[in-house]
Structure 1
Amino acid sequence: MSTTGYFNFNMRTVVHCAPGAIIRLPALFEGLGAKRVVLLSDAGLKQAGIVDQVARVFEANSGGSVSLVGVFAEVAPDAACNTVNDALRYCRENAADAILALGGGSVLDAAKGVKYALHHNLTDIKEAIQAGIKLETWPKAQPMGIPHIAVPTTAGTGAEVTTGAVLYNEEAGIKGNLVVPFIEADIAVLDAQLTVGLPPHITAQTGMDAMTHALESLAIPHANHFTDAHALLAAQVIEKNLVKAVENGADIDARSSLLQSSTMACNAMVNAMGPMPVHNCSHAFGALYHIPHGEANGVLLPIVIDELRDFYRPNAARLAVGLNLHAVADADADAQLDAVVERLNQMLDETGQSRTFSRFAIDPSEIERIVMAIATDPVAAFMPINPQKIAAITARAIGV
């Protein structure tokens, strides 16, 4: 339940939102004082033509003061540290003074890692997350002076506006967290036209990722009215629009609504910042089996809520409102949680997603290893989950 105690709410990023908004990128960078921009992205967006589409915006502005001096389209899934380091070297080799991040959560987080490393003169981003989490606060953390614009191509992570980045440390085999003021983008450009070509399964998975951010925010014990405003509306809009976007990828209104909800949901989560048991579990599954983050969150969300009822029960009514389940407003908490779990499973079914990780063929003998990974994930520090409950969640998630 929300409190009225002391809290800090941050959303430094300025949001520009409209279909076709990428046309303003050169002017926006000029306003930030940039001269030499490097575009960071991934191979999939390069192959899909999205990278070239954005690059052409700069070519059409060739007479201006801002130039695109390079494109690094090799960011690996999960923002793997080695590719962050490769991107870092590429930026230095091209004397870049500004970063354009184009992609999903992995690219957006990788760009934050590059920005942090440039500012602190690092050559290996793993130095920053050796302990699993790097947490800095203002005023020790100060503006980095590197113009930075993020253009999300999925409506899932909301990483374009948050002060956190999740980076995969290949050597340690864990996802590390970088939580530092000013690593977020100065400007986020939400252009729904860039998401029209997303396959239905990616639309569905990223939508459930955003839903997880929204609902986890509502359940954090010290959420506040600011985070509630973003989380509640985000969840309600996703519930109404995700199926529409999956069934008709050209529905610009639904696509734009999901982009906005994704931004609001993640901003709510990082500002509430507390126990996030679904993310605790999904980080571990992602690190062990490279399950896409949105898919992991989608499968785990109803299972974790169902298994950890003692944690979710105080906020059951809020979760139900977030899913537009007004018919259970006067029901008891367990009935509300039943309705929440049922609706989330319905959304998985309606968007063609699995309720388990069956496609990854995870052997039941792996359960002990998974329990350990979840128990030692950095997010577990907010609220350690009972090992027996972790085992029950794991068994259901792998389809045992």
Structure 2
Amino acid sequence: MQGFEFSCPTKIVCGAHALDKLPDEVADRGMKHPLVMTDAGLVKLGVAAKLTGVLDAADVPYEVFDQVPPDSSMDVVNEVARLYADRGCDGFVAIGGGSVIDTTKGAAASLACEGVDFATLQGSEILKADLPPFIAVPTTAGTGSEVTLVAVVADTHKHAKLSFTSYKLVPHVAILDPALTSSLPPKLTATTGMDALTHAVEAHTSIQKNPVSDAFAAKAVELIAANLPTACRNGADTEARTSLALASLMAGAAFSNAMVGIVHAIGHSLGGLCRIPHGQAMMMLLPHCVRFNLDRG
């Protein structure tokens, strides 16, 4: 066996009522006044209120930024970094999908580097400073951003998606609670599930894979195959929702170590140029790219 490295430093809190442990995690990370990151859709649906309600019950003061766009943007990243500094915040709690968590990663990275424009940190392992305390609470089971070393942020002026890669970008805590994904409609459940499946398949077929990433990827595929149809039919199925959240996380951890491939390379271009939602792009491209790779294997 060749030598390899595998890193997944995120603390994982998973299961029914996992969100109730948020105040303890906030305290353990030394946060006194966190900035809660979310989007307007989750506020409207009452999902964000489930999190802020837990903080209110524990008398934890916080600020809220709820204007994260569907595709995280460089302008918003820099706006959040300014708000964080102006309001005297001391950590982040991000509740949402990949866009919310990636926007938070960008703002946290900017602050870690004393407020520099996040665009200057594009590339691999350019970030050297540690992020402020960062708790990620995903509301979709797709990106795995709660454990990944990647942030994808749109440059709306150039119509491009910029990729940032660093182990410094990995959130410190991931809280997976099925109550936060139960209201996800069937179409979004399906497309985010296909995103997670793509992460697992690309990690498992990567030339950088290793036995640990393979174990995570294979288990993720198994969980998605067994639970995605159920969750699409019955969004309130707690066991299916928990399994998909865990599969998304495991696929994210796998590809953070083994990396993704041609599906994502083309998919990010489609997203940047054509505004195709990421999960739909993965669904469209996965069978064709797998076939392409098989012919050249």
Q: TM-score, normalised by structure 2?
A: 0.96
Deviations 1:110-150 (CA, angstroms, capped at 9, x unpaired): 11101100010235322222xxxx2117xx83533x11100
1:205 is matched with: 191
Residue 46 of structure 1, aligned match among 43, 48, 54: 43
Q: Once superposed, which parts of structure 1, at least 4 consecutive aligned residues long, lie more than 4 Å away?
A: none
1:304 is matched with: 289
1:78 is matched with: 71
Residue 130 of structure 2, aligned match among 143, 149, 158: 143
Deviations 1:305-325 (CA, angstroms, capped at 9, x unpaired): 1233234x4xxxxxxxxxxxx
- Aligned equivalents of 2:71, 2:3: Cα separation in 1: 34
Q: Tell whether 2:20 aligns with 1:23.
A: yes
Structure 1 residue matching 2:168: 3-state secondary structure: coil
Deviations 1:363-389 (CA, angstroms, capped at 9, x unpaired): xxxxxxxxxxxxxxxxxxxxxxxxxxx
What letter is aligned with 1:26?
Answer: P
- Aligned equivalents of 1:25, 1:240: Cα separation in 2: 29
Structure 1 residue matching 2:9: 3-state secondary structure: coil
1:36 is matched with: 33
Count of aligned pairs = 297
CA change 1:121–1:142 in 2 (3 A) is closer
CA change 1:123–1:76 in 2 (3 A) is farther
Deviations 1:49-86 (CA, angstroms, capped at 9, x unpaired): 11122111111111xxx421x11011112211111122
Greater relative contact order (CA < 8 Å, ≥ 6 in sequence) = 2
Deviations 1:309-353 (CA, angstroms, capped at 9, x unpaired): 234x4xxxxxxxxxxxxxxxxxxxxxxxxxxxxxxxxxxxxxxxx
- Aligned equivalents of 2:143, 2:177: Cα separation in 1: 15
* Correspondence 1:49-128 to 2 at 5 A: 49-62=46-59, 66-68=60-62, 70-128=63-121
Structure 2 residue matching 1:9: 3-state secondary structure: coil
Displacement of 1:205 after TM fit? 0.4
Contact 2:112-2:130 at 8 Å conserved across structures: no
1:287 is matched with: 272
- Aligned equivalents of 2:183, 2:130: Cα separation in 1: 35
Residue 184 of structure 1, aligned match among 170, 174, 185: 170
Q: Which moved more, 1:238-247 or 1:51-60?
A: 51-60
Q: Tell whether 2:151 aligns with 1:165.
A: yes
- Aligned equivalents of 1:11, 1:142: Cα separation in 2: 18
Structure 2 residue matching 1:106: 3-state secondary structure: helix
Residue 242 of structure 1, aligned match among 225, 228, 250: 228
Structure 1 residue matching 2:189: 3-state secondary structure: helix
1:358 is matched with: none
Displacement of 1:102 after TM fit? 0.5
- Aligned equivalents of 1:48, 1:125: Cα separation in 2: 30
- Aligned equivalents of 2:171, 2:256: Cα separation in 1: 15
Instruction: Give the aligned CA root-mean-square deviation in angstroms.
Output: 1.4
- Aligned equivalents of 1:295, 1:95: Cα separation in 2: 38
Structure 2 residue matching 1:58: 3-state secondary structure: helix
Contact 1:141-1:181 at 8 Å conserved across structures: no
1:359 is matched with: none
* Correspondence 1:200-239 to 2 at 5 A: 200-239=186-225
Contact 2:81-2:115 at 8 Å conserved across structures: no
Contact 1:14-1:187 at 8 Å conserved across structures: yes
Structure 2 residue matching 1:239: 3-state secondary structure: helix
What letter is aligned with 1:95?
Answer: G
Displacement of 1:7 after TM fit? 2.2
* Correspondence 1:260-275 to 2 at 5 A: 260-273=246-259
Contact 1:142-1:181 at 8 Å conserved across structures: no
Residue 14 of structure 1, aligned match among 11, 14, 21: 11
Unpaired runs of at least 5, structure 2 = none
Structure 2 residue matching 1:232: 3-state secondary structure: helix
What letter is aligned with 2:114?
Answer: N
- Aligned equivalents of 2:2, 2:130: Cα separation in 1: 27
- Aligned equivalents of 2:157, 2:4: Cα separation in 1: 36
- Aligned equivalents of 2:58, 2:254: Cα separation in 1: 36
> What is the aligned-residue identity percentage?
38
Structure 2 residue matching 1:77: 3-state secondary structure: coil
What letter is aligned with 2:231?
Answer: A
Larger radius of gyration: 1
Displacement of 1:304 after TM fit? 1.3
